[in-house]
Amino acid sequence: MAVLLGVLVAASFGSGDFLGGRASRRAPTLTVLMVAQATALLGAVIVCVFVSASVAAHDIVFGALAGSVSIVGIGMLYHGLSVGRMAVVAPLTALVSAVLPVAWGVLNGERPSGIVIVGVVLAIIAGVLISRQQSESQAGAPNASGIAWSVGAGLCLGASLVLYLQTSTESGLWPVLAARTASFVLVAVVLSVVARRRVPLPFPAGADRLLALGAGTLDVTATSLLVLAVRQGLVVVVSPLAALAPAATVILARFVLGERLQPAQRVGLLFALAGLVMIVVG
């Protein structure tokens, strides 16, 4: 079950990134993120209303911390992509965000079988290959600033998963609500500061608003499934599967926008399939 949930997490996160990216082509990224986080917050409230739980203060605290470091990680990733080479920043972020929870799981006694370990390694490599993108700035040496931002982003995104692990099973999905609340507040604060220093940013309208709403819905769906997955299975297994989110983004870009897959991305998809099979068999 944890493996299935991990795959669904990757599909949801990747699809949400695709919708959010589409909306950000015409609307400011910050306002798209605001609409998406507001939608995710509403979705978390609805889920918590219908799912019984016994929540404690530490569950709310760790959930809020997870949401805070996650949104900071996303911000660092966006900035890294703007100042560094996308072909370096995106794969490095995916690698670090997957390795950190895996290392935490191993240090805390998780011991998957040999075939699962091989599958996990293939999944991590697949995430790196699939995340690779061609860009005009690809020539030349890697930008040190971009690398620093991508490592920071990966650490934050990986740490958010570890923080979710500190919540109790009895808390249900209340940590997700705490996380989405913290993310929404942080984005609102940043948007307010930006609006005071420059011309207010326009919010997405029409089709872009629908895309942002869809991104937020998929975000809270993925986060909820991620919490359920790490509670049912090894984080050593779930984390690399969740890191395959770029695969969904790439596949949607291929079939919806007609973007061509690069050779490295094709190999990455094959590695992802092989890794998934090995994890399931193991």
Smallest CA-to-CA distance from 55 within 141, 144, 154, 169 is with 169
pLDDT > 70: what percent of the chain?
A: 89
Question: What does the alpha-carbon distance between residue 187 and residue 16 come to, in Å, rounded to a whole number?
Answer: 17
pLDDT in tens, 93-130: 777 888 888 888 888 887 777 887 888 788 778 777 77
The predicted structure's pLDDT at residue 175: 94
Domain borders along the chain are 2-281
pLDDT in tens, 218-229: 989 999 998 988
pLDDT > 90: what percent of the chain?
A: 24
pLDDT in tens, 15-37: 888 888 788 878 888 888 899 99
Question: What does the alpha-carbon distance between residue 108 and residue 267 come to, in Å, rounded to a whole number?
Answer: 32
pLDDT at position 193 over 70: yes
- What's the CA dihedral at 103, 107, 113, 116 to 10 degrees? -10
